[in-house]
Structure 1
Amino acid sequence: MVLKDISLSAVVAGFVAVLVGFASSVAIVFQAASAAGASNEIMASWLLALGIGMAITCIGLSWYYKAPVITAWSTPGAALLATSLQGLSIEQATGVFIFTAVLGLIIGLSGWFEKLTKLIPLPLASAMLAGILLQFGFAIFSSMQSQWLLVGSMCLVYLIAKVYLPRYAILLVLLSGIITVVAGGSLDLSAVTFSLAQPVWISPEFSFSALIGVGLPLLLVTMASQNIPGVAVLRASGYQTPVSPLISSTALSTLLLAPWGAFSINLAAITAAICTGTEAHPQPQKRYIAGIAAGLFYLLAGLAGATVVALFAAFPKEMVAALAGLALISTIAANLATSTSEPKYRDAAVITLLVTASGASFFGLASAFWGLIAGAVTVAIQRSRS
């Protein structure tokens, strides 16, 4: 069954999702590890543990539910850790990871998260997702200022391919970017050397102040900024995959791999959108191959460790930004259409979109969370008039 459903476009979507995920935020993961005093060996172990966890969950969940379930590390969580782990030991940081994973597992098994997501109207969820993804759309054209030939050629290839070869549009965009970089002589692979990451066990220590001061914010940030948008991506693309098993599976994988550096494995949002759209496959029931492919690439990336980081860093950041933005254009358009499709939710959806896109954060919680809050308040006030 799986072999019959394999398509090049789905495999490419999985590769692009991993490429964008690693290239856009792996530096933040290193900053978080450094804040806890991690050595280079421990940093490589973090990538290995995260890669294995994301591989197992992507492949297992996508295959079982026949849906493109994409998982990722928590980028907002890593950013929070980079500023919150100062003064803590690597052992205390590991204790925080385990504590947060246990709480996430309880939330998943209890069904609380699924009940919460059912209370969120689809237009608001779509508006929140569109608000998150808009930044990546903007990045296409801001990147063009410094790399106009590279990004301009990628945009031109995208527009032409969408008309004549829509299934392979992102693959052709990726190839055009690589060719342009190589032809321009700006690709330097001298720093890229192959090496395998080795797992390093860290025995956890549990500090009450660290668990409350770092663990609870990490849980809230991950749920609000990753899992809620991740569910929105699946729902916006028509996948009714049960939520509780997804939350439980990612929390369990974090719990099992935390001693080796898996600080938070959760549902992906932005990279998931790359795999759930029509670019992955015209038929929604065959897009799960993108999730399986992403899992395999996650595994390779985790095993390669620092080698992958150096390879991604060899390409201009403008190329990666443009690739991500172009891969998400269709998803942005679809979510904008859904967010304004119902007149009774239109004002609330627009407010959700604007708050989310603003990037404003309060109390350590990202704008996606506050966008939903603002939209929900708007709905409540408007309903009070009827």
Structure 2
Amino acid sequence: MLRDFSVQSLFMGLLIAFVGFASSFAVILHGLAGVGATETQAASGLMALSISMGICAIAISVVTRLPVSIAWSTPGAALLATAGTIEGGFNAAVGAFLVCGLLIVIAGLWKPLGKLVSSIPPALANAMLAGVLISLCFAPVKAIAFNPLFGLPIVLAWAIVGSINKLYAVPAALLAFALVIAFGIEMPAGAFAELSSALVPKAEFVSPVFNTAAMVSIALPLFIVTMASQNIPGIAVLKVNDYHPNPGPLFAATGLFSMLSAPFGGHAVNLAAITAAMCAGADSHPDRSRRYWSAINAGIAYIVFGLLAGAVTTFVSLAPPVLIEAVAGLALIGAFASSAMAAFTAANTREAAAITFLVTASGVSFGGVSGAFWGLLAGGLMLALSRSTRKKA
């Protein structure tokens, strides 16, 4: 293995970890807070996720010698942000995280469940995701309305850098956010001392609570979104780059690490999609057989970032919440555009996808169950009805 190590894979691994962490940690914090996590619990969850996906990436890449990039479920965190606090609070959400991880393990080891997830019409899965993301994508506009001096620099940094290189758009917005906090917001007394103490990693155990509302509102939609928008596309990216792993064990491994991070506030670990292309591509290394070191190096960097999660969360908490929501919204615009386009491309599923999108985007919950579940159910029923009608005709 050491003979396969290269400086090129080292730099690519560091870039993967930086892009993966910086571009979406704001979404993770916002999502965990959305289901009732305190600032300390959100920091613990961010740390648990980053360390878990780092160890998972290292373990899988060492065993398989394949460039398997691991990430947290960014669409899943966006789902949490719109789910709201449920009965049982964050403890119930953690119970749902555990069940979601278990479902991912089962999907990897038991083929019928994996096939069932794969059979969900992509148009409906994408419509549900677009419905979840749209409210978050409004945040940059709200940030400008809140305070143009704070919101505009973040949006302009994202737009200008993104027009040059989309890969660095969100990190640029994050840098602008940091500068706004440092120079535009008056620091409270003792802020620097608080930041210094936050450098010491602190994991907070959360006792899981299991109830029906959490299972239906969080566990099931989180499982579907993670499988449909992360794990399955992650395998597709590997295949495009001429790597052909057995998907089942990879899914099961990510589900296992999801379960390990859940008691400390982490929602889901999965195969990466965007950074997978960086990891498996020629820029990682000209020799295909040596690219797995990029995933290993990224995993090591993720662990380091995870140990700094407390300081990151403390720094972010100094700003008005709408600003971190703006960064999260900017990070999700690309995902929203892709999912919306995929949802409404096919004419024969367009109406069902529209219903799924509208019910989900409404944010209305029935019986304590979030709109994401009802949107998928309503769209599925509409699709089944239209197909039945066409058959009779």
TM-score over 0.5 for the pair = yes
Kept after mapping to 2: 8 A contact 1:23/1:313: no
CA distance in 2 between counterparts of 1:127 and 1:154 reads: 28
**Cross-structure match for 1:141:** 141
CA distance in 2 between counterparts of 1:96 and 1:161 reads: 38
Query: Superposition pairs for residues 39-118 of structure 1, below 5 Å?
Result: 49-57=48-56, 60=59, 66=67, 68-71=69-72, 76=80, 79-80=85-86, 82-83=88-89, 105-118=105-118
State the SS of the aligned residue for 2:359. Answer: helix
**Cross-structure match for 2:19:** 13
CA distance in 2 between counterparts of 1:334 and 1:94 reads: 29
Moved more, 93-102 or 233-242: 93-102
State the SS of the aligned residue for 2:268. Answer: strand
* 1:356 and 2:360 are equivalent in the alignment: yes
| Shift in CA distance, 68/98, structure 1 to aligned 2, threshold 3 Å | closer
Kept after mapping to 1: 8 A contact 2:50/2:305: yes
CA distance in 2 between counterparts of 1:149 and 1:129 reads: 31
1:179 positional shift: 2.5
CA distance in 2 between counterparts of 1:127 and 1:289 reads: 36
Kept after mapping to 2: 8 A contact 1:53/1:262: no
State the SS of the aligned residue for 1:385. Answer: helix
| Shift in CA distance, 349/99, structure 1 to aligned 2, threshold 3 Å | closer
Moved more, 48-57 or 70-79: 70-79
Kept after mapping to 2: 8 A contact 1:67/1:285: no
* 1:326 and 2:330 are equivalent in the alignment: yes
Query: Superposition pairs for residues 88-237 of structure 1, below 5 Å?
Result: 105-187=105-187, 189-190=191-192, 191-194=194-197, 195-197=199-201, 214=210, 218-234=214-230, 235=232
State the SS of the aligned residue for 2:146. Answer: coil
Q: Which ranges of structure 2 fall in alignment gaps of 5 or more residues? A: 240-244, 285-290
1:339 positional shift: 1.4
Moved more, 115-124 or 214-223: 214-223
State the SS of the aligned residue for 2:335. Answer: helix
Corresponding letter in the other structure for 1:114: G
Kept after mapping to 1: 8 A contact 2:68/2:276: no
CA distance in 2 between counterparts of 1:226 and 1:232 reads: 10
**Cross-structure match for 1:89:** none
Deviations 1:211-231 (A, max 9, x none): 7xx166545445423221122
CA distance in 2 between counterparts of 1:346 and 1:225 reads: 21
Taking structure 1 as the reference length, what is the TM-score of the superposition? 0.72
CA distance in 2 between counterparts of 1:95 and 1:167 reads: 35
Deviations 1:230-288 (A, max 9, x none): 22323568547876445422442355567xx346642469xx78x4699x899799699
State the SS of the aligned residue for 1:120. Answer: coil
Deviations 1:145-186 (A, max 9, x none): 212222212222333223333332222222223233333244
1:360 positional shift: 2.4
1:13 positional shift: 2.4
CA distance in 2 between counterparts of 1:333 and 1:284 reads: 27
RMSD, aligned CA: 4.6
Q: Number of matched residues?
A: 359
Corresponding letter in the other structure for 1:314: L
Deviations 1:37-75 (A, max 9, x none): xxx8x9987765555334323555688664554225976
CA distance in 2 between counterparts of 1:310 and 1:299 reads: 18
Q: Which ranges of structure 1 fall in alignment gaps of 5 or more residues? A: 35-39, 87-92, 205-209
1:22 positional shift: 4.4
| Shift in CA distance, 381/71, structure 1 to aligned 2, threshold 3 Å | same
Corresponding letter in the other structure for 2:256: L
* 1:376 and 2:380 are equivalent in the alignment: yes
| Shift in CA distance, 327/97, structure 1 to aligned 2, threshold 3 Å | closer
1:144 positional shift: 1.6
1:95 positional shift: 9.4
Taking structure 2 as the reference length, what is the TM-score of the superposition? 0.71
CA distance in 1 between counterparts of 2:202 and 2:139 reads: 35
Kept after mapping to 2: 8 A contact 1:14/1:293: no
